[in-house]
Amino acid sequence: MVVRKRLDYGSRGHQVPAMPRVPSSARGKRSARRKKDEMSPFDLLATVAGTLLVDHENSSNAPSINAAALTYARKRKSVKAEQCDDVPPLKSMAVENCIAGSGGVCASPRQANICLAENSSTRNGTDPVLESLTVKPDMLVRDSVFSCTKSCNRAHGVGGIPECGSSRSLEATNQVQVQQPMDGDTTALYSLVSSVDLDGRPPALVSSDSSSGVPLCIHDKDRTTSPLCHAEVRHAADRDDDENSSGCTHPCTTGNNKSYMPQYTGDSRIRKMFASKIRKAARNKMCGEMSNKGSKLNLCGKKISTTRQRVQRAMFKRQKPVRRHFTPSSAKGILTEVKLRIKSFTIPELFIEIPENATVGSLKRTVMDVVTSIIESGLRVGVLLQGKSIQDDNKTLRQARICHGENLENIDFTLECEAGQNSSPGVRIPEEMDFHGADAMKPLAMVKCEEPLSETKAGYNSQQRVQASPNRVQSEHGSVHSRFEATAHEASASSQAIVPVASPSSEALAIVPVCKSKRPVIGQRRIRRPFSLPEVEALVEAVEQLGTGRWRDVKMLAFDNTDHRTYVDLKDKWKTLVHTASISPQQRRGEPVPQGLLDRVLAAQAYWSQQQQQQISGKASGQACSSSC
């Protein structure tokens, strides 16, 4: 039943999560639980997989692949396990590298950006998406070879594993050479890779997965071997899983998980940052997409029931996006697992103001927050085939020949932040940063460094300093760019240069990614833009004419051409003006407002309040009268 259900689940019946998802808490503890839970499903799956393979006409190679996949999965876990003994040191190293390599992506230039996003505390290596993507088939193959060799010798002869040139596999570099076990099997390999890498599923299941997924695309040469391999592999996997998981797998995945998607995990810091509904919405949206993708992936069918669920889970999420693009092939009835690579991941340049007393930790957090917010604003995926961007989203993968192994290596993906996509290189000044009217001419001082910062002030000031400009490369890392002003008052401190924000507490450091796009990034707090004297005058005058309670009209009358002042802003400003006028001059802060103006504020406030009272009373009396009458 279980198996069947799973089969039904996947369009091809290939992908079913072999194991019911265990509560996260439980998942964490793998070894004990795993053996018990996984064994039976595993057997079932293996059996089914074997059947499928046999039935499949074109799946001659599948078996070896499957076996390889299983082995791989196992190996990843158990690189250090006993099995490794058989494997030459180099190989084992290679494997580890590979494994780590998945995480090792960060090492590459491309991932630098991503790494940036990662939580510093966690181990750098692994971008979820990248990681999954990075894993190369070769690795799988290799591993599979080893394991297969060991467990089933037949696989060797059959599978084109031999080609894998084990020697090569050693590639000292994290880059794993892609070795195709057999020609034409690339697809299979890819499928294996993906299946293996995919969400954290137990290795055991992998076999079933691969078998299910691979057959169509792969040309299996020896069906017979498959069953055997499966069985053996499986066992090996079982054996090794526990140990392995703790060993190799762990480091990579764990690190990845933690580091990579903090935003989704509910990092308190981030939550704080995105306190508003909009922000939450944005995050939910992202998560929702992710989950959707995840489900989709599941449909695609990868079930690796290993002990590493925990670890892989994260990977799964990451991979989803990419894999998702390949689902079309499955629509045709063929599931093809492919290895994907992220050619580039562009994150807008970050401009962050750093308080002098900032700590490394605060800087990291700041960067994390910024990157998180940027990423949450959305990512765009681009597909490159042989370096050429594929613009036609409606083109089927088959049309693009993406589902065939020969072209898989030519496919790359790019990730771009939606927020930055429209922005042009260079400094972008958000709409909010635009200066309208007289204010624009004022010298802008980023921060009044000379001025002692009250808590509030510090907070505000610190908030405005981050600017992100996509695609822009800049050498001044960590420097603060004063693109906009914080206070109208004096430009003395530094009207332009990079001025560190003197904030009393590094904690006050807040970042606001700035996007040039007119539409502010969702969830981003607007920069503080104190009302200038002319603005205050205009406001007072308008209110004197229209009264309080007609803020929309006030806006249209006095600030119609000022986009960054909403009627809510005007209302708030009036509120503060009234308050300011009602307190002693010594208690007032900020740019002083002429007493004359404040007097007018009070007068207008009194007048219109009275008017409102009268209206209310009149209304009430009218109602009373009417009711009484």
**What separation in angstroms does the CA of 619 have from each of 611, 612, 616, 624, 628?**
12, 10, 5, 8, 14
Query: Shortest distance, CB of residue 201 to DNA, whole angstroms?
Result: 38
Cα(430)–Cα(496) distance, integer angstroms: 17
Q: Which of 553, 588, 590, 607 binds DNA (CB under 7 A)?
A: 553
Query: Shortest distance, CB of residue 607 to DNA, whole angstroms?
Result: 14
Site string for DNA, 609-628 (x = CB under 7 A): ---x----------------
Which CB, 338 or 601, lies closer to DNA? 601
Closest Cα to residue 487, out of 508, 457, 512?
Answer: 457
Cα(309)–Cα(56) distance, integer angstroms: 29
Residue 442 sits in the site that holds DNA (CB under 7 A): no
Query: Shortest distance, CB of residue 418 to DNA, whole angstroms?
Result: 20
Token pair listed for 552: 């929309």
16-24, 60-68, 274-282, 388-396 -> range binding DNA (CB under 7 A): 274-282
Query: Do 101 and 121 meet the contact criterion of CB atoms below 8 Å apart?
Result: no
Q: Which of 129, 458, 527, 601 binds DNA (CB under 7 A)?
A: 527
Q: How many CB atoms lie within 10 A of CB 330?
A: 24
Residue 568 sits in the site that holds DNA (CB under 7 A): yes
Q: Please give the residues from 397 up to 436 whose contact with DNA meets the rule CB under 7 A.
A: 432
Residue 569 sits in the site that holds DNA (CB under 7 A): yes
442-450, 525-533, 594-602, 621-629 -> range binding DNA (CB under 7 A): 525-533
Which CB, 339 or 525, lies closer to DNA? 525
Query: Do 481 and 349 meet the contact criterion of CB atoms below 8 Å apart?
Result: no
Q: Which of 9, 42, 551, 559 binds DNA (CB under 7 A)?
A: 551
What per-residue string of b and e applies to 383-417 under the rule 16 or more CB within 10 Å gives b? bbbeeeebeeeeeebeebebbbbebbbebbbbbbb
Cα(458)–Cα(576) distance, integer angstroms: 19
Query: Shortest distance, CB of residue 569 to DNA, whole angstroms?
Result: 5
Residue 552 sits in the site that holds DNA (CB under 7 A): yes
Query: Do 384 and 414 meet the contact criterion of CB atoms below 8 Å apart?
Result: yes
Q: Which of 501, 528, 540, 577 binds DNA (CB under 7 A)?
A: 528
Residue 275 sits in the site that holds DNA (CB under 7 A): yes
Q: Which of 207, 548, 562, 580 binds DNA (CB under 7 A)?
A: 548
Q: Which of 201, 302, 525, 600 binds DNA (CB under 7 A)?
A: 525
Pairing outcome for strands 379-385 and 411-417: antiparallel
Site string for DNA, 90-119 (x = CB under 7 A): ------------------------------
Residue 517 sits in the site that holds DNA (CB under 7 A): no
Residues in CB range of 470: below 8 A, 6 or more apart: 346, 347, 348, 349, 416, 417, 419, 420, 421, 423, 425
Cα(12)–Cα(598) distance, integer angstroms: 74
Residues engaged in binding DNA (CB under 7 A): 275-279, 432, 525-529, 548-553, 564-565, 567-569, 571-572, 575-576, 612
